[in-house]
Amino acid sequence: MRNLAHFALSRKKLISQYGHVASRCDKVSYSAKTNYEVASVLEQETDCDFSVHSLPEAQRFSNKSRLWLFLQAPEATEAEEILALGIRRFVVDNEQDLFALLAALEAHPAVKIDILLRMRLKEHTIHTGKYFVYGMYAEQANNLAAKLAGHPRIKGLGIHFHRKTQNLSEWSLMEELQGMLSDEALSAISIVNAGGGIPVRDHNFREGGTPSIFAELGELRSWLSQHAITLMLEPGRFLAGPCMKLHAAILSVYDGTIVVNASVYNAAMDTFIAHTRLEVEGEVSSREGEAYTIKGMTPDAMDIFRYRVFLKEPKKGDVLVFRNAGAYNFSTEFCMLPKPETVVVD
């Protein structure tokens, strides 16, 4: 069997990225689905919280008090299992799930929980048919926040919202929240979770807008603090992307095509999710190198890491290193491809 590509995870880079974000908010919650190997390092070496979306995901963590579980249509038995597991913090995006959770609490009179109400903000994307818009409308979230204030079973109450990470047009946070949250809701809540991540660099996206995002987050944090509300950030991609590199060996070079021993289906699913194209270490300008298409190892026409990249005399056996490769690198069973190993390098 041919050798496989692998991911190299820099613990130092991850902790550096975490510190960069942690200094700009009151709490960080890492969305574990972004990359579980990254979550494991963060659990061991930071005080990070974790956003999880299923029971199997939650069971990966030893300390359930660090988890925020995003409920999605829980059955009564599942809600009971969740509470029995020791999970006490939840994000709900509709009233039905909220009432199911509160009903499950009746069998646990000593248990108190924290709840974030997921509120939808205005969408700023041309892909209106591609994304499901989670969350309650502002009026509904405001009314629920006012009603739940002082609830004997709710220890903490807050608002969660989500922005698509790589879409810079969606980052006008303070202004939007000021126009959507009522005075009653602001008095009722104690936390706002800004979900959706912070952008990272790839071939299609440059980091020039990231400082402005952090500036906006600073303004949002300052405004929230005036209302005694803490700011939590979910910088999934910002943490997982830069700390990992994909090392893939060249299997062959022909007719301007490079075939590597990896596939977007087992190593770079973000290619499909967010239309990213990973940068390659050593790529040069059109004046310095020749144009190549970097193709994965399956026969699928969409298995392409880069449509056009300029390199200097690549040859079979060389190793290509793809930067910022750690976000949403989960694998599929397509062509029965195995998932590349992740190696912690420092």
Query: Any idea what the CATH number is for the domain that residue 140 is in?
Result: 3.20.20.10
Residue 197 has pLDDT above 80, yes or no: no
What tokens does 207 get? 């980091």
Q: How many folded domains does the chain comprise?
A: 2
Q: Kindly report the number of other CB atoms within 10 A of residue 138's CB atom.
A: 20
> Which band of pLDDT confidence, cut at 50, 70 and 90, is reported for residue 272?
confident
The answer as to whether 220 is a domain residue is yes
Split at pLDDT 50, 70, 90, the class of 76 is confident
Last residue of a domain, which of 196, 216, 240?
240
Quick check: 26 pLDDT over 90?
yes
Are both 63 and 167 inside the same structural domain? Answer: yes
257 and 310, same structural domain?
yes
Confidence of residue 1 (pLDDT cuts 50, 70, 90): very low
What pLDDT was estimated at residue 127?
46
Q: Which two tokens stand for residue 216?
A: 């906006």
What is the spatial distance between Cα 69 and Cα 82, in angstroms, rounded to a whole number? 9
**Pairing relation of β-strands 154-162 and 191-195?**
parallel
Cβ contact 190:160 at 8 Å: no
Residue 250 within a domain: yes
Nearest to 277 by CA among 197, 332, 201, 225: 201
At 318, the pLDDT band (50, 70, 90 cuts) reads: very high
* 248/236 same-domain check: no
pLDDT confidence of residue 216: 87
> DSSP letter at 193?
E
Percentage of the chain beyond pLDDT 90 is 77
Q: Pick the last residue of a domain from 240, 265, 292.
A: 240
Mean pLDDT score of the chain: 91
The answer on 216 and 92 residing in a single domain is: yes
The C-alpha atoms of residue 209 and residue 61 are separated, in whole angstroms, by 34
Residue 191, token pair as written in the block: 């936390």
- Domain co-membership, 85 together with 197: yes
Instruction: Average the pLDDT over each of 143-152, 203-212, 271-280, 328-337 and give the range with the smallest value.
Output: 203-212
**pLDDT in the model for residue 209:** 60
Range of the domain at 335: 244-339
pLDDT at residue 166 in the model? 46
Band of the pLDDT at 4, cuts 50, 70, 90?
confident
Nearest of 101, 222, 194, 116 to residue 159 by alpha carbon:
116
Question: Which of 194, 222, 240 is the last residue before a domain boundary?
Answer: 240
- Identify whether the C-beta of residue 232 lies closer than 8 Å to the C-beta of residue 194: yes
Query: Could you tell me which residues are beta bridge partners of residue 191?
Result: 158, 230
Report which of residues 134 and 155 the model is more confident about: 155
Q: Quick one: which of 18, 12, 19, 16 has its CA closest to 30?
A: 18
Over the stretch 114-139, which tens digit does the pLDDT of each residue have?
999 999 987 544 444 555 567 899 99
* Res 304: pLDDT: 97
Per the listing, tokens 């020749």 go with 290
Alpha helices in the chain (DSSP H): 11-22, 36-45, 55-58, 76-84, 95-104, 138-148, 173-180, 183-188, 210-225, 236-240, 264-267, 270-273
Q: Say what the pLDDT of residue 126 is.
A: 44
SS3 labels along 50-94: EEECCHHHHCCCCCHHHEEEECCCCCHHHHHHHHHCCCCEEEECC
SS3 313: coil
Q: Give whole-number Cα distances, 225 to 25, 218, 232, 274, in Å.
A: 11, 11, 12, 33
